[in-house]
Amino acid sequence: MPPRRQSARPTRRRKGEAYRANEAKRAEDRAAKQAKKEQKAAEGRRKHAEAQVKHQQKLEAQAKKEAKAAEKRAAREAKAAEQAARKAEKAGGSAAPAAR
């Protein structure tokens, strides 16, 4: 009897082997994709936290700046009022009319 000719189509056994190999590869790819997704999410959370901190620092710096400016303005106004009172005193009047 002549030897059996090799079929172009894979046998049932080889189909099973290929299926298992492909299934393992797919599972590996799925795990890699999930890991990449988680890594990206973690990176996003980190960036968001950094941005929040930076924003908070900006707000604090702005508040500090405004407080300093208000303090300077109050000092300037007090100095101007004091000078006006002195000027009025020198002129011989009381400080009350100058305040009006």
The backbone torsions φ and ψ at residue 41, rounded to the nearest 5 degrees and listed phi first, read: -65, -40
The mean per-residue pLDDT over the stretch 34-40 comes to 98
pLDDT digits (tens, 9 = 90+) for 38-72: 999 999 999 999 999 999 999 999 999 999 999 99
| Residue type (1 letter), 94 | S
Q: What angle do CA 26, 27, 31 make, to 5 degrees?
A: 115
What contacts 85, CB < 8 A, 6 or more positions away?
95, 98, 99
Lowest mean pLDDT among 19-23, 27-31, 47-51: 19-23
Domain ranges of the chain: 12-99
The mean per-residue pLDDT over the stretch 82-87 comes to 94
pLDDT at 95: 52
Q: What percent of the chain has pLDDT over 70?
A: 80
Q: How far apart are CA 29 and CA 8, in angstroms?
A: 29
Please tell me the pTM assigned to this model. 0.51
H helices, E strands: number in the chain: 2, 0
pLDDT at 54: 98
- Residue 92: which pLDDT band, with cuts at 50, 70 and 90? confident
Q: How far apart are CA 62 and CA 81, in angstroms?
A: 28
